[in-house]
Chains A and B, each alone.
Chain A
């Protein structure tokens, strides 16, 4: 072993010991992904089930009861029958129901007379996304009831054009299938940045950096010594997340493991670089911690395309999303998991990750110096 690699090995060993002695790093790398994936995988879904809905029936009759039973049998609704619209309005204000279906007193008469009988549907628009999904479910139940009723009345229901839908990659439309891979990207951003955002600032603050400066180690060696152990730790967390996604949440993994590994390694490297950059630029742990809280989680959560569609954002905001490393990784993992190895997507996004990591490292290299800092 020559001197250079001995120095490097020593630094890596020192950093690893530091990780092992403070259990919070290991907790972050392994406990956080498990906890979050469990909560998210089981807890979070955009598919509404058992929506509370008020059915206002002003005058009971066979037509009304057949519509009510239509809603009862749907897995999407738990209907509550009410007698007046005022009662339903109150329930809506108190958030007990998310929608009202209002059959007026003359509903049955209008239906039999052949005039198009109007039925009012009132949705709680506060959560517009949910309201729109509920509206889709209501139409589904409604169409079934309508064709049944028309058949009973001896009329055919004319539907000139029908839609035949084929949902590729996720035919069962499970939102979990895209939320879990996306969540892996968010969690890894946090882990990478959180693990490393304090490590350089800590050495300056405690004065151990000065001790390192008098040794013959080079600045690159200090940096590599910091990257390697955290990279290994982060990749361990990554592996754990992928195993959970596949075996616990049964997210199909259509792509190849080598592709996933390469992309994950690049992403991990970018996140660690981001953390080191925060640490180097901030100077004190206090500021580094504040910056890490602000720039990692929320951008990865909101701007990465993990939940919100990037294509629908205004153009300047779409440019901003390019500054978030998670954006590229979300695109890669969602595709590798659900669609397979789509090479154009893989190479473009990996390319961006390489560029980002390189830029981060260049800035770190420029900002790091083997000089004493002037105390402010």
Chain B
């Protein structure tokens, strides 16, 4: 027993040496996650805070100017240009210098005073449809407040019922939090794959893996020795990223920290299992790298990180059950924002654990088999 621990320990030390002795390799494992967290943390947001717009106002009245003042007073909108002709709009939108154009017709004030619906035409660049829809929502808010103002001042009766909207868990509806928290899962997955996906393939290519197989170490011991560095590096970097999210980005951590760590631990196990499985299937490091990408890219895209899983067709939704990142994303997000603790998270823990056990044993079996 003691011998076994000693053997595992020395393999682990050797793995750490290969990862950390080379200066370049050390840099690649430590620097990018930190830099990427900061850069992505600021970059990844669906929020629009800078919408360039153009005005084409054919109306002479005060009312249209009042309506447009609502846009000038908003933090989100920045006036790019006031144009006098229809024809000037297209080149500006085409070259994406402005996202939208507000067109007020010549009879706007007249209609408004006669009690007929006056129209504000919004021409919007739909190349990125999500941005377009969000920008339209902002336009709608400004028009809505103008409308309320107008009806209350002109004594016409208001609406018989009103919607009072609020949102739970994230009262300002800042999508920033949602994405930043997801980055914990994203960067941990990347780092783990980086550490594990090439580790067996590299030894296979160099021939040292065969030497390892003839030592007294059992495949199980090799598996543990190869997994531990990824697990330790992952836990450390995970802790660091969580700390940065809480203290640097000031995202509230409402739920139970132990529940989060149990999740992180199981997630790392499953990611390591997948990484080692890819690695032991590959003959060359090139194949290991390709295997890593073949898993990483779909895993990130189909995890619910940026686009909701519920929007996917059922077949693809079923595929996401194989993806450990799917479960871990739910865990981090519900612990951070919804204040979840263990009792709400069992359904996320056990599938990851199953994935981890299956892939790790597959990797252990594949150690023995030569793939060429």
CB-CB under 8 A from B150, the residues of chain A are 160-161
Q: Please list 9 pairs of residues, one from A and one from B, whose beta carbons are closer than 8 Å in the complex, sorted by A's number.
A: A114-B160, A121-B165, A126-B334, A129-B175, A164-B122, A167-B132, A286-B22, A317-B43, A334-B127
Tell me, rounded to whole Å, the shortest Cβ–Cβ distance linking B47 to chain A.
6
Residue of B nearest to A110 (CB): B161
Type the 1/0 row for A305-329, where 1 means its CB is closer than 8 Å to any CB of B: 1011101111011001100000000
Query: B126 near A173 (CB under 8 angstroms)?
Result: yes
Type the 1/0 row for A331-350, where 1 means its CB is closer than 8 Å to any CB of B: 10011001100101100000
CB-CB under 8 A from B338, the residues of chain A are 93, 126
User: A60: CB under 8 A from chain B?
Assistant: no
User: A138: CB under 8 A from chain B?
Assistant: yes
CB-CB under 8 A from B122, the residues of chain A are 163-166
The number of residue pairs between A and B whose CB atoms lie closer than 8 Å in the complex comes to 365
Query: B170 near A160 (CB under 8 angstroms)?
Result: no
Residue of A nearest to B170 (CB): A125
Query: A44 near B298 (CB under 8 angstroms)?
Result: no
Query: B32 near A27 (CB under 8 angstroms)?
Result: no
> Per a CB cutoff under 8 Å, which of A124, A138, A283, A297 touches B163?
A138
Q: Nearest 4 pairs between A and B by C-beta?
A: A125-B170, A170-B126, A125-B167, A43-B316
Residue of B nearest to A116 (CB): B162
> Per a CB cutoff under 8 Å, which of A308, A338, A339 touches B44?
A308
User: A265: CB under 8 A from chain B?
Assistant: no
A149 CA to B330 CA, complexed, in Å: 40
- A111-148 contacts to B, CB under 8 A, are 111, 114, 116-133, 135-136, 138-139, 142, 146
Task: Count how many chain A residues have C-beta atoms less than 8 Å from C-beta atoms of the other chain.
Answer: 120
Tell me, rounded to whole Å, the shortest Cβ–Cβ distance linking B292 to chain A.
6
CB-CB under 8 A from B293, the residues of chain A are 28, 32, 190, 194, 293, 297
Query: Contacts A24-B286, A39-B316, A301-B300 hold; do A132 and B164 have CB atoms under 8 A apart?
Result: no
Which of B39, B67, B164 has the most CB atoms of chain A within a 10 A radius of its CB? B39
B-side interface residues toward A, CB under 8 Å?
A: 18, 22, 24-25, 28-29, 32, 36, 39-40, 42-52, 67, 93-96, 99, 112, 115, 117-134, 136-137, 139-140, 143, 146-147, 150-151, 156-171, 173-178, 186, 190, 193-194, 197-198, 202, 205, 284-290, 292-294, 296-298, 300-302, 306-308, 310-313, 315-316, 319, 330, 333-334, 337-338, 344
Tell me, rounded to whole Å, the shortest Cβ–Cβ distance linking B254 to chain A.
11
Tell me, rounded to whole Å, the shortest Cβ–Cβ distance linking B42 to chain A.
5
Tell me, rounded to whole Å, the shortest Cβ–Cβ distance linking B195 to chain A.
8
Query: Contacts A127-B175, A128-B46 hold; do A35 and B307 have CB atoms under 8 A apart?
Result: no
Residue of B nearest to A52 (CB): B310
Query: A289 near B288 (CB under 8 angstroms)?
Result: yes
Query: B146 near A312 (CB under 8 angstroms)?
Result: no
Tell me, rounded to whole Å, the shortest Cβ–Cβ distance linking B229 to chain A.
13
> Per a CB cutoff under 8 Å, which of A155, A161, A167 touches B160?
A155
A114 CA to B323 CA, complexed, in Å: 53
Query: A126 near B170 (CB under 8 angstroms)?
Result: yes
Query: A290 near B165 (CB under 8 angstroms)?
Result: no
Residue of A nearest to B150 (CB): A160
CB-CB under 8 A from B134, the residues of chain A are 129, 132
CB-CB under 8 A from B32, the residues of chain A are 294-295
User: A157: CB under 8 A from chain B?
Assistant: yes
CB-CB under 8 A from A65, the residues of chain B are none
Query: B28 near A290 (CB under 8 angstroms)?
Result: yes
Residue of A nearest to B137 (CB): A136
A198 CA to B197 CA, complexed, in Å: 15
Query: A175 near B130 (CB under 8 angstroms)?
Result: yes
Query: B126 near A168 (CB under 8 angstroms)?
Result: yes
Query: Contacts A24-B290, A118-B162, A198-B286 hold; do A161 and B313 have CB atoms under 8 A apart?
Result: no
CB-CB under 8 A from B133, the residues of chain A are 133, 136, 173
CB-CB under 8 A from A284, the residues of chain B are 22
A45 CA to B344 CA, complexed, in Å: 28
Query: A285 near B202 (CB under 8 angstroms)?
Result: yes
- A259-314 contacts to B, CB under 8 A, are 282-287, 289-295, 297-299, 301-303, 305, 307-309, 311-314
Query: B43 near A294 (CB under 8 angstroms)?
Result: no
A166 CA to B166 CA, complexed, in Å: 29
> Per a CB cutoff under 8 Å, which of A117, A160, A171 touches B161?
A117
Query: A194 near B289 (CB under 8 angstroms)?
Result: yes
CB-CB under 8 A from A331, the residues of chain B are 96
CB-CB under 8 A from B173, the residues of chain A are 123, 125, 128, 131-132
Query: Contacts A198-B289, A289-B198 hold; do A160 and B302 have CB atoms under 8 A apart?
Result: no
Query: B147 near A161 (CB under 8 angstroms)?
Result: yes
Query: B129 near A298 (CB under 8 angstroms)?
Result: no
Query: Contacts A162-B118, A169-B125, A338-B126 hold; do A294 and B161 have CB atoms under 8 A apart?
Result: no
Type the 1/0 row for A46-62, where 1 means its CB is closer than 8 Å to any CB of B: 11111100000000000
Which of A159, A284, A294, A321 has the most CB atoms of chain B within a 10 A radius of its CB? A294
